[in-house]
Amino acid sequence: MKMQARLIRLVRLTVFTVVFAYLCLPAGLVSAAGGDAVLSAQEWFERGRFMGEIGNYHKAVEAFSRIIKLTPNSAHAYNNRGVAYSELGNYRLAIQDFNRAVNMNPEDALFRFNRGIAFAREEEFHLAVTDFSQVIDMDPKHAEARFFLGLIQRGMPGEGQKGTDNIKVSAQMGYEDAQVYLRSRFMGWY
C-alpha cells in the first residue's frame, strides 16, 4: 500500500513538473506537437490561469494579453487579466479590463464583482457599492458581494446599520468571513 501511494505521488510530481516546464517556456520556444504553430487562445488561457494560480501574475498578464491579441472580444481574458493586474496592485489597469469585460458581457456578475473589489482597493467606495449592489441584484445569494457591500457601508456616514444588516445576511447564508467578522465584534447573526 505504501509503495502504491509513493508511486502515485511520483507520477503526480512528474506530471506537474512537465506541465510546469511547458508553461514556463518562453513563448517563442513553445510550439504545437510536431509543428511550428504558436499556442492557441485556449492554450494561452490555460497558461495564464496556471501562472495566476502559482502567483506569477506578470506571466499571467502576458498570457492573457496574448489571448486578447488573438481574440479581442474575449471578456474572460479581460476579466482574468484584470484579476492579475489587481494582484499586482495595479488597480487602474484592472478596472479598465473589468470595464471591457462588463461592456462585452453585462450579465456576468463575476466581472462586476471583480471590478467592485478593484474599486474598493482604489478607495472608490461609491463605485464599489454600485457594483456590489448590482451583483446582489443579479444574484441575491452572492454572500461574498453582500459581505463586502456591508463592510463598505459600515464605513459610510448614515449607512452603518445597512452595512451591519448586509453582513448579517451574508453570515446567515453561511459565508464564513462574515461569521468570523461578526464573532470578532461579539455580534450575532441568527
* Per-residue pLDDT tens over the stretch 19-69: 444 444 444 444 444 333 478 889 999 999 999 999 999 999 999 999 999
pLDDT band for position 179 (50/70/90)? very high
Alpha-helical segments (H) within the chain: 2-24, 41-53, 57-70, 75-87, 91-104, 109-121, 125-138, 143-154, 160-172, 176-184
Lowest-confidence range among 97-101, 175-179, 186-190? Answer: 186-190
- What pLDDT is attached to residue 2? 54
- What is the tens place of the pLDDT at every residue in 101-153? 999 999 999 999 999 999 999 999 999 999 999 999 999 999 999 999 999 99
- What pLDDT is attached to residue 30? 44
- What pLDDT is attached to residue 35? 36
- Torsion sign across C-alpha atoms 101, 105, 107, 108: negative
The answer to whether residues 111 and 79 touch, using CB atoms and an 8 Å cutoff, is: yes
Model confidence, pTM: 0.78
38: Cα within 13 Å, side-chain hemisphere: 10
